[in-house]
Amino acid sequence: MQQSKPSRTREKLTHLKDVSLRHIAAGERVVERGFQNARLMATLAAALMLAGFMLVAQWRGNAVLAKSPERQTDQNLAIIIQELTSENTALRSEIMRLQTRIIEAERETSDRSQLLNEAAKELQALRAIAGFELVKGPGIHVTLVDDERVLLPQDFVALVNELRAGGAEAVSVNGMRVDALTGFSGGDGTIRVDGTVLAREFKVVAIGNPDNLEQSLTLPGGLKSTLSTFPGVTVVVERRDELTVAAAPEPVFEAGRPVEEN
């Protein structure tokens, strides 16, 4: 018993060693196969991925081509051509229609602008006549010297009247425009225009046809000869080619107000 015991123990140990070695070898094989399987799977997966990618790209390209005219059947092409032709005709007529409208609109605007131009010209003329615009042109320049202070406001009213009768388009006295609202007043040897006292040497400017204006004053028995008979009064009438008459101040209505009547 004592002798057999160690030999049996050794046998058992050898057996255990064999078993464990076999297990290790089996384990190693399993691991190796696992590695190999993983590699195979990875290759297959990569190939499938590539195939999928190509499939999608091909799908896309084909979808684009399917819509292009090269892939259509003759019947479809005929229908497409017909549709395009009718669309073309419709668009052509639309172009024609729009062009006519452009021409009409152009004519309308030119008409309107012409009308506006005429209205502006008319307004300018009316403003000039009313005295609200600076007026330049040929006319006469009348200088009145009154040393004895005998002239009365009526004499100026008469003078302006004579000038207007002679075709004066714009008149000013000492630089002040004579318009529809201008009034002469005064007394005791002073003359006032709209309340402003005039300097002693009177300068009257009238724009119009110089010949007619001069004639209206210098006719025998006219205003010039009448005024010249007053003591100390001298009247000098000169024709000028270029005279300027200032504009009157814009009117201000205090009591009345303009009413438009149609």
Contacting residues toward another protein, per CB under 8 A: 39-41, 43-58, 60-62, 64-65, 68
- What are the E-state strand segments in the chain? 135-146, 170-173, 176-177, 184-187, 190-193, 196-197, 201-207, 233-245
CB neighbours of 140 closer than 8 A, spacing ≥ 6?
A: 205, 206, 210, 213, 214, 217, 237, 238, 239, 240
Q: Which residue has the tokens 């004895």?
A: 148
Instruction: Quote the least distance from Cβ 69 to another protein, whole Å.
Output: 12
Is residue 202 within 8 Å of 174, Cβ to Cβ?
A: yes
CB of 55 to another protein, least distance (A): 5
Shortest Cβ 23–another protein spacing (Å): 23
45 vs 105, which CB is nearer to another protein? 45
Helix/strand/coil percent split, the chain, to 5: 60, 20, 25
Query: Considering beta carbons, is residue 61 or 232 the nearer one to another protein?
Result: 61
Nearer to another protein, 33 or 92 (CB): 33
Tell me the C-alpha distance between 229 and 210, whole Å: 24
Nearest approach, Cβ of residue 60 and another protein (Å):
5
Beta carbon of residue 34, minimum distance to another protein (angstroms, whole number): 14
CA distance 129 to 164: 12
Joined tokens for residue 218: 């210098």
Q: Which is nearer to another protein, 12 or 71 (CB)?
A: 71
Q: How far is the CB of 99 from another protein (least distance, A)?
A: 40
Instruction: Please say which residue, 19 or 45, places its beta carbon nearer to another protein.
Output: 45
Q: Which is nearer to another protein, 4 or 68 (CB)?
A: 68
Residue 159 burial (10 A CB sphere; 0-12, 13-18, 19+): buried
